[in-house]
Amino acid sequence: MHTAKSLIALSAWLGLQLAASVCLCAAVADSTAVEQWGVFEVSLRGPAAGNPFLEVQFAAEFRRQNRVVRADGFYDGDGAYRLRFMPDAQGTWTYLTRSNRAELDGKAGEFTCGPPSKGNHGPVVVRNTWHFGYADGTPYFPVGTTCYAWVHQGDRLEEQTLATLRAAPFNKLRMCVFPKDYVYNKNEPPYYPFERTAAGANDLTRFNPRFFQHLEKRVKDLLELGIEADLILFHPYDRWGYKNMPADADDRYLRYLVSRLAAYRNVWWSLANEFDFMKEKTMSDWDRFFRIVQESDPYQRLRSIHNGAVLYDHGKPWVTHASIQGYDFDKARTWLETYRKPVIYDECQYEGNIPRRWGNISAQELVRRFWLGTAAGAYVGHGETYLDADDILWWSKGGVLHGESPKRIAFLRKIIEEGLAGGINPMNDKYPVAGLEGRYYLYYFDAHQPAEYEFDLVKGGPYKVDIIDPWQMTVTPVQGTFEGKLKVKLPARPHLAVRIRKAE
């Protein structure tokens, strides 16, 4: 005889199987098991008449022991409704749907959350004040790049971008949700976020599910590569009307996007690229957008906002880390100490040769900026803008990388990951240095380093010393171990680093 609990589970399973033909997530096909920090999906049939985006409310409560997590569902077109949930604990979870429509209300079921698969360390969170780590405690040091409009280029170029990323050193990628209209990026996207008339007018009350299905596919592609998707929710470079939508459309868009994507563990929210260039929005609008995302997201994904000429107040409680455009690394320590949050220089200009001030720095200069930012206790992002006959520039459309900086950024990433698992913090000295007193020091000597420098190390050694050439990608150990004051002769060339570590 079936128990009441098994009958509930069986009816939920049957309901999910009826919807399998429109299912987008493999978790629904096997509705009884999902890995920790994976995605469990409930898919149901519901009303398609009228305007479901406005008229139907759909959510669920997910329970495990004494915990309750509420997640909003969304309409995916053609009568399909979905709920996505990321379980963060192993064991049995149950769910119960809530809706203003009978077809979607009161649907119950359960599933088992098992161990995470290899490479699944959970979502990235802030830890140790100024740094990041995965939910399972594995260190995470962001080494990001920018490909603003790569998901709006069609499958052939997008697949090429993914192939490039597979061999690149980047573990975070900044990308726009909306298509972009800007220099070297004038093509129409294959999909639009809202339904449109033949004349191109947006119906801001009706989302285009195909647009969001495609976006989700690319977010999952990045997840499989171990890359965080830093999603830019608004930007000023637009000819389709998305930057000046009315407040109700802005708010509805944010809630819809969060309901669709928040369950993917590699998602970050960047409220805007160059928010202050969007003159249609006020500072109170940006505060409201942050609150909507924060309140709608059951998992509290990382949240930031990127500046043009004006900095947002990153000290506000809904901001998890500072996203900075600029290369004034001497301010990093002040920002770190003021905000008490991680600082990422997501845009410090681009390696390339376009006739724009921000897109024609050399590979040597970009590598230099990565090291300056690292030695300041912050993190730095990459970008590339080499001219192309077909206007396929990495910074906007993706494709392939042409520059000399990525392999040297990979070298720096290795240096960072060989360092302290908890991250390195800014320290006091004449030259940029980050580390942890008595354990680890990473100095960067810029264009005019001395021929010899005396390091005053705290007691507690002995220490071992390496001279690092960031461009040649070499590490040269200094023979012996040292304590107290230490004089090191430096090669007669600029842009060198010195690493001092406590000898094991």
Q: In angstroms, how far apart are the furthest CA atoms of the chain? A: 85
Tell me if 4-114 shares its fold with 439-502: yes
Q: What is the pLDDT of residues 428-444, one digit of tens each?
A: 999 999 999 999 999 99
Q: What is the pLDDT of residues 230-281, one digit of tens each?
A: 999 999 999 999 999 999 999 999 999 999 999 999 999 999 999 999 999 9
**Would you list the domain boundaries of the chain?**
4-114, 124-417, 439-502
Q: CA-to-CA distance for 172 and 142, rounded, in angstroms?
A: 6
pTM: 0.93
Per-residue tokens: 198: 């033949």
Q: Which of 122, 138, 133 is nearest to 39 (CA)?
A: 122
pLDDT at residue 20 greater than cutoff 70: no
Q: Is 330 exposed, middle or buried (CB count within 10 Å of its CB: 0-12, 13-18, 19+)?
A: exposed
On average, the pLDDT of the chain sits at: 93
Which whole-number Å values give the CA distances from 499 to 36, 100, 417, 436, in the listed order? Answer: 38, 62, 13, 12
Q: What is the CATH code for 124-417?
A: 3.20.20.80
Q: Which top CATH class is 4-114? A: mainly beta
Which whole-number Å values give the CA distances from 57 to 101, 102, 210, 477, in the listed order? Answer: 8, 11, 21, 63
Q: CA-to-CA distance for 5 and 92, rounded, in angstroms?
A: 12
List of long-range contacts for 459-466, beta carbons under 8 Å, 24+ apart: 459/483, 459/484, 460/502, 461/502, 461/503, 462/502, 462/503, 463/500, 463/501, 463/502, 463/503, 464/500, 464/501, 464/502, 464/503, 465/498, 465/499, 465/500, 466/498, 466/499, 466/500, 466/501
Percent of the chain with pLDDT over 90: 89
Q: What is the pLDDT of residues 124-172, one digit of tens each?
A: 999 999 999 999 999 999 999 999 999 999 999 999 999 999 999 999 9
Q: So what's the pLDDT on residue 448? A: 79
pLDDT at residue 14 greater than cutoff 60: no
- Taking domain 439-502, whether its CATH number is 2.60.40.3950 is answered by yes
For residue 342, give the 3-state DSSP assignment.
coil
